Amino acid sequence: MNTKKKWWTRSRREALDGYVFMSPAILGLLFFMLGPIAASAYFSFTEYDILSSPKWVGLDNYIELFHDSLFWQSLKVTLTYSVVSVPLNLVVSLLLALLLNKNIKGIFVFRTIFYLPAVMSGVAVALLWKWIFNPDFGLINWAIGLIGFEGPKWFIEENWALPPIIIMGLWGVGGSMLVYLAGLQGIPTDLYEAAEIDGANKRKQFRHITIPMLSPVIFFNLITGIIGALQVFTEGFIMTAGGPNNATLFSVLYLYRNAFDYLNMGYASALAWVLFLIILAFTLIVFKSSPMWVFYEGNRRSAK
Amino acid sequence: MNTSTATRSEAPVRRQMSRSQSELLSKVFSYVLLVLGSIVILVPFAWMISTSLKKKADVYVFPPQWIPSPPQWHNYKEAFTTFPFAHYTWNSIIIVVLVMAGTLFSCSFSAYGFSRLQAPGRNLIFMVLLATMMLPSAVTMVPIYLFFNKLGWVNTFKPLIIPAWFGTAFYIFMMRQFFMGIPYELEDSARIDGCTTYGIWAKIMVPLSKPVLVTVGVFTFMGTWNDFMTPLIYLTDEDKRTLALALSYFQGSARSAPDLHLLMAASLYAIAPCVTLYFLCQRIFVKGMVFTGVKG
């Protein structure tokens, strides 16, 4: 009886300590995640300019969205950017990681160089690339001129406004490259040795060992890539200010303008929810498709 | 009979030869690709440095000259005096230091609870926390702004700093993974010696988790230093701007051509701390230690 009572108080005490320890995260979850999500859902059904109190308008914001050509434009820009840049980054960073995974002299130096651009995202980099893509005096058009062509009017012609932003993103793939590299180094070498004994060539080894063993990492990079790409903001804001003629009006930029330039907090919230649903749809598709192509080692063991 | 043995003994030798040759070839090929890649990565930097050392008139010379003659070192001083960058740097430092302190404290404190202490609902809370990593910040941006606006915190540093004291899901996750790898024996013996749970966190877990604390610290530094959107939303006064925000105003209006040589000098100045920190702590990045938890 006595021991049972003692056990009770001890586990209670532990639970109490547990809640105290978890309290920053729990409060953060309430104040900066769950609370705002609920508030955002509410505001999306209101008209709210901060100065006067929110006015309930039902589905008006969402209906307005449907007729808003700028909204469709921002969606088009964001999806185009994502559809091109996400797979491109995924492949390029994988190729770089394979290259950097080689066990050769000086590889540490190359790894350091290849990751370097990733440590300085943001304004400075956007300014640098804006200058590099300057149509008249920039580095890129100079290089294109060297091989005898005339470079396009980057940022000035609508069709040539998005590509520089995509190329700039490619320069900073270091983050996902490192994730791949960590994944590659986690693949047991005995798998390759066994394959070699069975007479599998390098290509077969890549296809049947590297890719399946790396698939959880590809999955991770794909998900984070989609979430990141659909929320691009700084590049559009700094390099092009959404122009020319809204050719780089990313969704978050349009959201920002509605919220903080036009003070349409309700409309901005509705925009945020639509963006959220799009991101959710994409991630769900990837998640649902994952059993077909993502291979977890744990599953292999349990299948035996 | 004789010839067949000869070819049989020769064949493996030849195969070995061609094998070491192909290995050499692939090595050379790798080096060529690595060097080419490095050039692609480093040329923009060279261009940045080159521009920052040019005379204003030479910036718009085409074809460009790579080596400015003579290098205009005073551009750096000029960039610094035209805009109060020292003041903006100070703003950035205050914010970064307080964000780092908040993140390290709140994340390691919470992570200890999630990794070691049994409490009803703990795993559910943790799952919700992980799920929020998927949530686009665009959804919470407006309501959090309205919340801080109600508190009268807009145009102060508080909206940039306070949230960091309430944990970041990804870092909590990372630290929890790390704590789970620490053996229980240390805690048990400390408990027998009369140490409280809080003492165990402060005296055992925190000192032992130095590698993960450094990693989180470095990432927090870079993220906060480079952050553009949060200061853009909350800081309206000119003298409250962070370095990243100030830099965006430095480029001038969309129509007027900026002083590119000064802009590049200022940009280099803004990235210098991150690059320095990177070279000091490159092991953290390059060893991929950060991502050890990803595969689980």
Q: What is the DSSP string of A19-49?
A: HHHHHHHHHHHIIIIIHHHHHHHHHTTEE--
Second CATH level (architecture) for the domain B81-293: Orthogonal Bundle (1.10)
For residue A148, the surrounding DSSP H or E stretch is none
Is B166 in contact with A31 (Cβ distance < 8 A)?
yes
Is pLDDT at B151 greater than 80 in this prediction?
A: yes
B134 versus B163: the higher-pLDDT residue is B163
Among chain B residues, the shortest Cα distance to A185 is held by B288
A203, A251, A261, A215: which is closest to A230 by C-alpha?
A251
pLDDT in tens, A237-278: 999 888 789 999 999 999 999 999 999 999 999 999 999 999
Q: Do A18 and B233 touch (CB under 8 A)?
A: no
DSSP strands (E only) in chain A: 46-47, 55-56
Average pLDDT value for residue range B166-177? 91
pLDDT given at position A185: 84
Burial class (CB in 10 A: 0-12, 13-18, 19+), A111: buried
CA distance A246 to A70: 8
The residue among B178, B173, B181 whose CA lies nearest residue B131 is B173
- pLDDT computed for residue A298 by the predictor: 58
Question: What percent of chain B clears pLDDT 90, i.e. is strictly above it?
Answer: 43
Nearest to B195 by CA among A17, A9, A22: A17
Cα(A300)–Cα(A298) distance, rounded to whole angstroms? 5
Q: Which ranges of A230-264 does DSSP label H, i.e. alpha helix?
A: 234-235, 251-256
Q: What's the confidence (pLDDT) of residue A257?
A: 94
Check residue B1 and give its pLDDT.
Answer: 41
Which pLDDT score is estimated for B296? 34
Minimal CA separation from A238 to chain B, in Å: 7
Position B58 confidence tier, pLDDT thresholds 50, 70, 90: confident
B251, with CB counted inside 10 A (0-12, 13-18, 19+), is: buried
Partners of residue B128 in chain A, C-beta under 8 Å: 29, 34
The minimum CA-CA distance between A1 and chain B, rounded to whole Å, is 23
- Which of B142, B251, B292 lies closest to A182 in CB terms? B292
pLDDT recorded at residue A1: 47
**Contact across the interface for A120 and B167, Cβ inside 8 Å:** no
Q: Per the CB < 8 Å rule, is B263 touching A183?
A: no
Residue B3: is its pLDDT beyond 50? no
pLDDT, averaged across chain A: 88
**Minimal C-alpha gap between B143 and chain A (Å):** 5
Cβ of A25 within 8 Å of Cβ of B30? The answer is no
CB contact under 8 A, B147 and A139: no
Q: Do A128 and B229 make contact, defined as CB atoms within 8 angstroms?
A: no
By C-alpha distance, the chain A residue nearest B137 is: A231
Q: Does B166 touch chain A (CB under 8 A)?
A: yes
What residues in A contact B64, CB-CB < 8 Å? 137, 139, 142
> Would you call A25 and B172 a contact, using CB atoms and an 8 Å cutoff?
yes
Q: Please write the tens of the pLDDT for every residue from A93-131.
A: 999 999 988 888 888 889 889 988 988 878 999 999 998
Q: What are phi and psi of A55, to 5 degrees?
A: -115, 125
A:B CB pairs within 8 Å: 280
pLDDT category of residue B137 using cuts at 50, 70 and 90 = confident
Tokens for B45, please give them: 């930097």
Taking an 8 Å cut-off on Cβ atoms, the answer to whether A142 and B63 are in contact is yes
Which residue of chain A comes nearest to B129, CA vs CA? A29
- pLDDT classification of B7: cutoffs 50, 70, 90: very low
Encode burial over B151-182: b for 16+ CB neighbours within 10 A, e otherwise: eebbebbebbbbbbbbbbbbbbbbbbbbbeee
| Residue B293 confidence (pLDDT) above 50 | no
Chain A touched by B226 (CB under 8 Å): yes
pLDDT tier for residue B210 given thresholds of 50, 70 and 90: confident
Shortest Cα distance from B181 to chain A (angstroms)? 18
The count of other CB atoms within 10 Å of the CB of residue A217 is 23
Q: Is B222 on the interface with A (CB under 8 A)?
A: yes
Say whether pLDDT at B247 is over 70: yes
State which amino acid sits at residue B53: L
Phi, psi of B8 (to 5 degrees): -65, -40
Residue B257, chain A, CB below 8 Å: the answer is: no
Q: How high is the pLDDT of residue A303? A: 39
Chosen for mutation from B139, B154, B263, B274 (greatest number of chain A CBs closer than 10 Å) is B139
Q: Do the Cβ atoms of A21 and B294 come within 8 Å? A: no
- Is A99–B30 a contact, with Cβ atoms under 8 angstroms apart? yes
Distance to chain A for B88, nearest Cα, Å: 14
Residue of A nearest to B260 (CA): A131
Q: Do B167 and A259 touch (CB under 8 A)?
A: no
Please report which helix (H) or strand (E) contains residue A171, including its range: helix A162-171
- Per-residue pLDDT, B285: 67
Shortest distance between the Cα of B129 and any Cα of chain A, in A, equals 7
Partner residue facing A273 (CB), from B139, B263, B278: B139
Whether B147 sits inside 8 A of A113 (CB atoms) is: no
How far apart, in whole angstroms, are the C-alpha atoms of residue A139 and residue A45? 48
A295-301, long-range: CB < 8 A, 24+ apart: A295/A212, A295/A213, A295/A215, A295/A216, A296/A216, A297/A213
* Nearest Cα residue in chain B from A28: B166
Predicted pLDDT at A3? 53
B139–A36 CB contact, under 8 Å: yes
- B291 φ, ψ to 5°? -100, 15
Query: Which among B163, B228, B285 has the least Cβ separation from residue A123?
Result: B228
What's the pLDDT at B235?
95
Residues in chain B, overall count: 296
**A10-19, A149-158, B14-23, B226-235: segment of lowest average pLDDT:** B14-23
Helices (H), B117-242: 122-132, 137-150, 158-161, 169-180, 184-192, 197-200, 206-208, 210-226, 229-234
Between chains, do B233 and A142 touch, taking CB under 8 Å as contact? no
Per-residue pLDDT of chain A (304 residues; tens, 9 = 90+): 455 556 567 788 888 999 999 999 999 999 999 999 999 999 999 999 988 889 999 899 999 999 999 999 999 999 999 999 999 999 999 999 999 888 888 888 898 899 889 888 789 999 999 989 988 888 888 888 888 888 898 998 888 999 999 999 999 888 888 888 888 888 888 888 899 888 888 888 888 889 988 888 899 899 989 999 999 999 899 998 887 899 999 999 999 999 999 999 999 999 999 999 999 999 999 989 888 888 876 555 443 3
For residue A42, what pLDDT is reported?
Answer: 95
